[in-house]
Structures are given as structure tokens and as C-alpha cells.
Amino acid sequence: MQSIAIIALLGASILWGLTWLPLKFLHEQGFNGIAITFLVYLIMFAITIPLIWRFRKEIAGNWPALLGIMLLGGGAQLAFNTSMIFGDVIRVMVLFYLVPLWGVLGGRLFLGEQITPFRWLGMGLSIIGAFLVVGGMNAFYSPPSWIDGLALLSGFLFAMNNIVFRASSKVPVMLKLNFMFLGAAVLALMAFSQLDEQVIPEVSFNIWLTLLAFAVLWVLLANLGTQWAVTQMEAGKSSIILILELVTAVVSASFILGETMDGLEMLGGVLILVAALLETIPQKSKPEKPHQNGEVSSL
């Protein structure tokens, strides 16, 4: 079972790292960037409703956590997808991977988790790395773009959503995922309502099939694969495998789009990657246990 979980998580991480491909493709074919998030997550919400029907009685008693997941998780999905569509893939992914920094701070503030020396070091490396990625000293003269802001926001919201996931471990994961899908669709629709564009563009039937396949065979499978796999292995091992998402995105964008980073940006990216790896080091001397139900949310 462990080997199957590893393969599943490897596959899911690669899917997450390549998500930019269908997102940019669908946008180029005529779909508004925000509309893609709305349609994809609406489809996933509709598909998962039958799967959570048996948990419907648990909604009333857990509505604060589910509402938090709707707003935080849904917001993370919308911010990430939008920044990925309109921004440079490598830059967005690197800034998004400040998740460990936000997660450590949030875990300390809201869950009372200890900040170990390794975590202090990781936080420092993350901050320095982010400063270099957004331009170093040049950031004081030319502020980061709105896409940089969305990428940072997506990582922050994702980390906060993970905290809610961990704090509500007794709530079924499938129920939490369903509300996250709903939140992304609702927030995307609210944002899209401010634009003077049509949600349903004039595209070919094949493009609509592509969007449907992306929702069902890509994003939904990646979510389910990640959720199942992380409950079957140690936290440190799964965290290391999940970093494959960042590596996949960087390598694929370099080869396909020809994206590059200058020296300072590359150094910042390396520091952020090291910080993420430090977070995988066991924080206690006792052996790690597999993730508890609902401990980690998917992007």
C-alpha cells in the first residue's frame, strides 16, 4: 500500500506542476482566466455532491470550519490559477512556495505549534528568498506586480487553509474538498461579475471537452490522489514528494516556454526550496506518524 501511495503522490505532484499547461491553453482558446476557475470548480463541485451526500448531517455541526475552507481554500485556488494564467510560471510557483513560511507562522498562532531552530532557519531563508525573487533592492524602486501579489496571496491562503484542515481532522476530507470546490466557484463568479465579459465564450465543442477533461481527469484526480496518498505515509516523506510539483513546473516552463530567472532570482528560488526541504525534517524525536484524516489540503 505504501508503494502505491508513493506512486499516486508522485503522479498527483506532476499533475499539479503541469497545471499551467491546460490553464494557459484554455485561456488562449478564448476562456477568460477567471471563468476557467469558475467552470472547472463548478464541475468538480457537482461531481462530488453524490460522494458527500452521506455526510450531509455533519455540515450543521462543522459549518465554521467548512466556511473557512470555502473562503481560504477557494480563494487560494482562484488566486493561484489567475496568477499562473497571466504570470510567469516559474516566478509564480517560487513565490507560491512560501507556503512553509505562512504555515509555520499560522501553526504557531492558531494551533500553538512549536517553532524549532530548523523552522526559524527556514523562515529566514524564505523571507530572504522572496525578497530576491521580487527584485531585491530594486523592489523599493519598482514594486512587485499584481501577479506577484496574487502568487503570494495564493500561498498564504493555501497555508491558512491547511491549518483549518488540520484543526478539523474529524470532518470527512471529501466534505471539506467539496466545500473548497464550491468556494472557488463562488469566489470566481463574484470576481467575474465585475468584468464585462461572457462566462460562456464562443469556442468549439472540442475545447469544451478539453475543459471538462481538465476538470475531471486532471484537477479532480490530482486532488483525490493527493488526499489519499498523504494519509498513507509519513508527513516528512509526503512533503518531500510534493516538492516535485515545484520542480516539475520549473523544468517544464523552462523547456516549453523558455522561461528563465536571473542570478538573484535563481538564488532566491534555491533559498525558498531549501526552506521547504527544512520543513520536511521531523520536528520531534519520536517517529513520525502518517497524516491524520484531513490534515493537508490540495491545491
Q: Do 184 and 79 contact (CB within 8 A), yes or no? A: no
Which residues share a beta bridge with 290? 234
Amino acid 297: pLDDT: 64
Question: What's the CA gap between 26 and 161, in Å, rounded?
Answer: 27
| Residue 41 near residue 184 (C-beta atoms within 8 A) | yes
Sign of CA dihedral 200, 204, 208, 210: negative
What pLDDT is recorded for position 103?
A: 73
- Residue holding cell 502505491? 4
Q: Is 291 helix (H, G, I), strand (E, B) or coil?
A: coil
Amino acid at position 89, single letter? V
Backbone angles phi, psi at 195, to 5 degrees: -105, 150
Q: Smallest Cα–Cα separation from 97: which of 227, 288, 248?
A: 248
**Helix 146-167, helix 99-111: angle, nearest 10:** 40
How many residues belong to the chain?
299
Q: How far apart are CA 216 and CA 75, in angstroms?
A: 20
In terms of pTM, does the model score above 0.95? no
Backbone φ and ψ for 234, nearest 5 degrees, come out as -65, 150
Are 175 and 52 within 8 A, CB to CB?
Answer: yes
Render each residue's pLDDT in the chain as its tens digit; 299 residues: 778 988 998 999 999 999 999 999 999 999 999 999 999 999 999 999 998 989 988 999 999 999 999 999 999 999 999 999 999 898 898 888 887 678 777 777 777 777 778 778 877 887 887 777 766 666 555 567 899 999 999 989 998 998 888 888 899 999 999 999 999 999 999 999 888 777 788 899 999 999 999 999 999 999 999 988 887 877 667 777 788 888 888 889 888 988 877 787 788 888 878 877 776 676 554 444 455 444 566 67
Cα–Cα distance for residue pair 188/181, rounded to 1 Å: 11
